[in-house]
């Protein structure tokens, strides 16, 4: 058996190096014998990549990851569920009855003339309180724009009037019915129903009441008055459909509950650790077409791990888990809408404390709402109106000083490298890591060899990359503080370990710039990593 140099195989390896010339150029080769010969040395490229911090986050499959105006990575989590509170007053029919004139009883059992009847039966005013349209929601009604409604009058009498002998005249109070004129109904008898249709018109109650004058008038002939005369009418506003109403309204909206599933955090943190975000927020956004001052009543905002829901962290409002806060924006006129938000954060509720619970993956909340009585005089409500609240969570990936965030990635060493190592006599093998940190944080890169089953069998070796960026804590803008330079680490793994290795695990530990600077992740931050192998030995081929 004769050992011969297999130059063709070695030259193929050397040729592949030219594809990764940047990898070779970035390595300090001053102590390397670069003679290409039977016992020469080669530099074997393994992996090269430039990764932004957003790439790390993307590996977590976090939905709703966005980048704010300062390029800070932010999770905006808004569930599809919104909470709609019904403000519809569902107006019911309202009515009032007039009474029989007492003077008519003085002629009981007699026959009187039409003129005498008219003098004994004066007009009566029917006054209807429109707050009873929705007695629990209307505290004062100033005006209401009617799409469709009916004013209805029914005569109730035991007097037998002749055909066409009796008329009924309705005179709406002008201040209450600006567009309605008096109207007379003829041939009115017991049980007659007289109606006035209302379409696209204003009704303007006085002190929440509307009034109408109702008069009966005998045209001619004589009238017999029975022993117990009865002559009255019922007035009703019915079948009401309105566009909007002005006044003052009262609502007490029952509490609603819900949860946010933040399970993606479990991909970042263990059950015993946590991520103290610098200023996460919980937002409730209100959408309304009604001009009603509303107060939001927070029962609680809390966090927990769903496997241990009894272990909770609560938002705190001056030591209490509940609070009442008001929305300030309202539409200025009917047909317009308003959007307003209440934001609960570090300053308003200590929301950051929710994320200090180890293993947090759920935020739960309960809130209701109620109208406020003072301050707004020109309140209005639209027909079939709702008051809608949409919750959301905003988590900027900015952490308190001293926080350490860890992420991992696994790279294959490739068949060509392991095949090369196992087919040749090796005198010296080294792995070189060349990395460049263009972030606002220190990064510690750890490398661990893994076997074919991705099981670790070696010690982890680390390289600390110093930051070259500075994040302004007020604006969030990143500024480069120094020119980025490559940092190198020679990894002292044995040839036997490298022959066994199929994968290498890269762990990235992101710390703040220092113990007093918050850790902020931006979409433009990146880490450039190159991994190479220096191999020196003999390439052999066996001949028989």
Pick from 312, 386, 393: nearest CA to 354: 312
Average pLDDT over residues 262-286: 76
pLDDT of 368:
93
What percent of the chain clears pLDDT 70, i.e. is strictly above it? Answer: 75
Contact 393, 64 (CB under 8 A): no
Q: Establish whether domains 73-86+251-396 and 94-248 are of one fold.
A: yes
Query: Are 341 and 390 a contacting pair, CB within 8 Å?
Result: no
pLDDT band at 375 (very low <50, low <70, confident <90, very high): low
pLDDT, greater one: 27 or 114 = 114
63: its two tokens: 């939905």
The confidence score (pLDDT) of residue 396 equals 82
Q: Report phi then psi at 23, rounded to 5.
A: -65, -45
Domains of the chain, by residue range, sit at: 2-61+402-543, 73-86+251-396, 94-248
Strand (E) or helix (H) holding 133? none
> In the structure, what pLDDT confidence band is assigned to residue 498 with cuts at 50, 70 and 90?
confident
Instruction: Say which CATH topology domain 73-86+251-396 has.
Output: Jelly Rolls (2.60.120)
More confidently predicted of 35 and 535: 535
Nearest to 528 by CA among 490, 486, 466, 491: 486
Angle at 362 between CA 357 and CA 368, to 5 degrees: 110
Q: What is the DSSP letter of 391?
A: E
The β-bridge relationship of strands 281-288 and 386-396 is antiparallel
CATH architecture of 94-248: Sandwich (2.60)
Q: Beta partners for 254?
A: none
Flag whether pLDDT at 12 surpasses 50.
no
How does DSSP classify residue 57? Answer: H
Of the two residues 68 and 464, the one the predictor is more confident about is 464
How sure is the predictor about 345, in pLDDT bands with cuts at 50, 70 and 90? very high
Top-confidence range, 8-22, 209-223, 445-459: 209-223
Please compute the mean of the pLDDT values over residues 274-295 and round it to a whole number: 88
Q: Give percent of the chain with pLDDT exceeding 90.
A: 38
Q: Is the pTM of this model over 0.75?
A: no
Which of 63-67, 232-236, 330-334 has the least mean pLDDT?
63-67
Q: Are 447 and 461 in contact (CB under 8 A)?
A: yes
Q: What mean pLDDT do residues 161-175 have?
A: 94
| CA 2 – CA 53 distance, rounded (Å) | 54
pLDDT of residue 525: 73
Helix, coil or strand: residue 493: coil
**What pLDDT shows up at residue 513?**
61
Q: 283-292: per-residue pLDDT in tens?
A: 999 999 999 9
How far is the C-alpha of 490 from the C-alpha of 294, rounded, in Å? 65
Q: Which pLDDT tens digit goes with each residue over 198-221?
A: 999 999 999 999 999 999 999 999
Backbone angles phi, psi at 94, to 5 degrees: -125, 145
The CA distance from 456 to 23, in Å, is 26
Q: How far is CA 217 from the centre of its chain?
A: 65
Give tens-digit pLDDT for 310-329: 889 999 999 999 999 999 89
Least confident range of 236-250, 351-365, 382-396, 435-449: 435-449
Residue 266 phi/psi, 5-degree rounding, is: -70, -15
**The dihedral of CA 412, 415, 419, 422: what is its sign?**
positive
What SS3 state is found at 419? Answer: helix
Residue 309: what pLDDT? 86
The burial of 542, by beta-carbon neighbours within 10 Å (0-12 exposed, 13-18 middle, 19 or more buried), is given as exposed
| Higher-scoring residue by pLDDT: 356, 367 | 367
Q: What is the pLDDT of residue 466?
A: 72
């Amino acid at each position: 058996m004769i050992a011969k140099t297999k130059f063709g195989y070695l030259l193929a390896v050397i040729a592949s190096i030219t594809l990764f010339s940047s990898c070779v150029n970035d390595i300090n080769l001053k102590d390397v014998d670069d003679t290409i010969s039977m016992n020469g040395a080669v530099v074997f490229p393994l992996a090269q990549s430039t990764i932004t911090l957003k790439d790390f986050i993307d590996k977590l499959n976090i939905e709703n990851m966005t980048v704010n105006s300062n390029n800070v990575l932010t999770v905006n989590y808004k569930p599809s569920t919104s909470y709609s509170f019904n403000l519809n007053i569902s107006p019911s029919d309202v009515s009032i009855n007039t009474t029989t004139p007492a003077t008519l009883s003085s002629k009981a059992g007699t026959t009187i003339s039409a003129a005498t009847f008219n003098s004994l039966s004066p007009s009566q005013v029917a006054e209807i309180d429109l707050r009873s349209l929705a007695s629990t929601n209307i505290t004062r009604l100033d005006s209401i724009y009617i799409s469709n409604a009916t004013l209805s009058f029914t005569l109730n009498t035991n007097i037998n009037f002749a055909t066409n002998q009796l008329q009924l005249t309705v005179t709406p109070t002008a201040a209450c019915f600006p567009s309605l004129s008096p109207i007379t109904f003829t041939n009115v008898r017991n049980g007659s129903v007289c109606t006035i249709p209302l379409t696209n018109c204003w009704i303007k109650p006085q002190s929440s009441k509307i009034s109408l004058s109702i008069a009966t008038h005998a045209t001619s002939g004589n009238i017999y008055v029975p022993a117990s005369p009865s002559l009255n009418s019922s007035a009703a506003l019915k079948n009401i459909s309105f566009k909007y109403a002005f006044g003052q309204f009262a609502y007490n909206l029952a509490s609603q509950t819900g949860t946010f599933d933040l399970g993606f955090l479990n991909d970042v943190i263990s059950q015993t650790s946590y991520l103290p975000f610098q200023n996460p927020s919980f937002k409730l956004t209100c959408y309304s077409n009604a001009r009603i001052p509303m107060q939001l009543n927070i029962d609680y905002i809390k966090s927990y791990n769903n496997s241990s829901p009894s272990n909770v962290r609560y938002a705190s409002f001056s030591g209490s888990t509940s609070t009442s806060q008001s929305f300030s924006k309202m539409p200025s006129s009917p047909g317009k809408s308003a959007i307003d938000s209440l934001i609960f954060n570090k300053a308003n509720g200590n929301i950051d404390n929710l994320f200090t619970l180890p293993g947090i993956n759920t935020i739960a909340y309960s809130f209701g709402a109620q109208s406020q009585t003072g301050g707004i005089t020109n309140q209005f409500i639209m027909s079939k109106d709702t008051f809608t609240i949409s919750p959301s969570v905003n988590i900027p990936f900015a952490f308190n000083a001293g926080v350490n965030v860890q992420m991992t990635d696994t790279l294959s060493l490739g068949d060509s490298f392991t095949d090369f190592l196992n087919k040749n006599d090796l005198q010296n093998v080294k792995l070189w890591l060349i990395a460049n940190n263009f972030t606002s944080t220190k990064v510690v890169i750890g490398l661990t060899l893994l076997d074919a089953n991705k099981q670790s069998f070696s010690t982890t070796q680390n390289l600390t990359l110093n930051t070259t960026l500075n994040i302004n804590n007020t604006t969030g803008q990143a500024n480069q503080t120094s020119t980025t330079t490559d940092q190198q680490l020679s990894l002292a793994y044995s040839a036997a370990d490298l022959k066994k290795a199929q994968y290498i695990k890269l762990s990235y530990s992101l710390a703040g710039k220092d113990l007093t600077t918050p850790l902020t992740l931006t979409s433009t931050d990146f880490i450039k990593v190159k991994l190479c192998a220096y191999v020196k030995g003999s390439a052999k081929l066996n001949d028989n």
